[in-house]
Amino acid sequence: MALLDILHFPDQRLRLKAQPVTVMDEKTQQIVANMFETMYHFAGIGLAAVQVNIQKSIIVMDLSAEKNQPQCFINLKILAKQGKDKHEEGCLSVPGIYEKVARAKWIKIEALNQNGQLIQQELTGLPAICLQHELDHLNGKLFIDYVSALKLQRARAKLKKQQAEPL
């Protein structure tokens, strides 16, 4: 396994779109394993391949407190969505910025798991929010795209101030 570099905003490679995975070969398994290692290392709850400069439709996620429930979503599609939910989001590619984003409250998804089996799930709460956030990454979209420029400017200023403060 290997730790991968995470791209940080405003790196334009975060705007690239992922292509579907066509074969579940050893190389794909290696990417998945490296993405899990990278996500756990940086204490993220989800990671999309585009964030590590791999333009493939691969998402890894683990929402458990013990970090022992790895989930992998390949070629994720949202089949249906309903309702609205607003939660504070952060992102490994946009460190230090946390803003509320409106997402669908309920989603029905289809994807391949790590073994290449087709799965369908209905999700609400954090899993639903996280997968919508990660799927955006695969389409070159960041959560801060939903936040107003003014709010973002304030968040950046706050962050700069925090960084400037001595320990």
Residues that bind Ni ion (CB under 5 A): 91
Complex with Ni ion: residue 74 or 136, whichever CB lies closer: 136
Residue whose beta carbon is closest to Ni ion? 91
Beta carbon of residue 76, minimum distance to Ni ion (angstroms, whole number): 14
Angle at 21 between CA 29 and CA 127, to 5 degrees: 80
Complex with Ni ion: residue 72 or 91, whichever CB lies closer: 91
Q: Of the listed 66, 99, 122, 134, which one is catalytic? A: 134
Backbone dihedral angles phi then psi of residue 82, each to the nearest 5 degrees: -150, 150
Sign of the dihedral defined by the CA atoms of residues 16, 6, 28, 81, in that order: negative
Element of type H or E holding 112: strand 106-112
Of residues 63, 51, 43, 40, the one with CA closest to residue 5 = 51
Complex with Ni ion: residue 31 or 91, whichever CB lies closer: 91
Q: Which residues pair with 72 in a beta bridge?
A: 60
Complex with Ni ion: residue 59 or 91, whichever CB lies closer: 91
Beta carbon of residue 107, minimum distance to Ni ion (angstroms, whole number): 17
Beta carbon of residue 130, minimum distance to Ni ion (angstroms, whole number): 9
**At 118, is the secondary structure helix, strand, or coil?**
strand
Active-site residue flag, 134: yes
Beta carbon of residue 121, minimum distance to Ni ion (angstroms, whole number): 20
Which residues are known to be catalytic? Answer: 134
